[in-house]
Amino acid sequence: MSLDKTEKSSGTRHKARECALQMLFAADLVSGDCETLTSNYWHELGDTSIDDKTRAFANKLVCGTLKNVAAIDDLIRTRAEHWRIERMAIVDRNVLRLAVYEFLHQDDTPNAVAINEALEIARRFSTYEATQFINGILDAIKQDLDSQAAKTEEKSHASSI
């Protein structure tokens, strides 16, 4: 039974990520605040069968990503060699932004899960080549963050001795 609950939970989170990507895509095309963006999405385009918990998670992802987009884009730039973010396909850059936001701010989502989710969403909304591009960038950023965390832990351990 608990397996069914886990599958349903991960499925709703996956659906929330897909909705979040669509909202981030819209945010790239029109300016506006997060509240208006999410409200318009759910009233005009959103699937009416999606429950409130899934909507809340999608909204959290969108608003968090938009709030932190400058820092997220800086991280992406460090690993997107020879690619300006503005020149990336809108879907691809927002899949990247969403995953990096989860790396940085969703402690309950392991980074490997965020990468897998990003790749699944890219397979649905982008191209095969994009999944390779996205995987390479996200894996490099994950390694950078893991390395930074290890250094921080070493310093913390050394100062406590």
Q: Are 120 and 159 in contact (CB under 8 A)?
A: no
- Sign, CA torsion 130/132/133/138: positive
Residue pLDDT, tens place only, 89-123: 999 999 999 999 999 999 899 999 999 999 999 99
Domain architecture of the chain: domains with CATH: 2-160 (1.10.940.10)
To 10 degrees, what angle do helices 69-79 and 52-67 make? 70
Q: What pLDDT does residue 7 have?
A: 40
Query: pLDDT for 47-84, tens place per residue?
Result: 888 999 999 999 999 999 999 999 999 999 999 988 99
141 alpha carbon, distance to own chain's centre: 13
CB 105 within 8 A of CB 113: no
DSSP E strand stretches across 4-61: none
Number of H helices, E strands in the chain: 7, 0
Q: For residue 12, which amino acid is it?
A: T
Q: Is the separation of the CB atoms in 94 and 55 below 8 Å?
A: no
* 152: its two tokens: 């921080």
Global pTM value? 0.88
Do 83 and 130 touch, CB atoms closer than 8 A?
no
Is the pLDDT at 154 greater than 60? The verdict is yes
Structure tokens at 98: 């969403």
Q: In terms of Cα–Cα distance, which of 94, 87, 88 is closest to 118?
A: 94
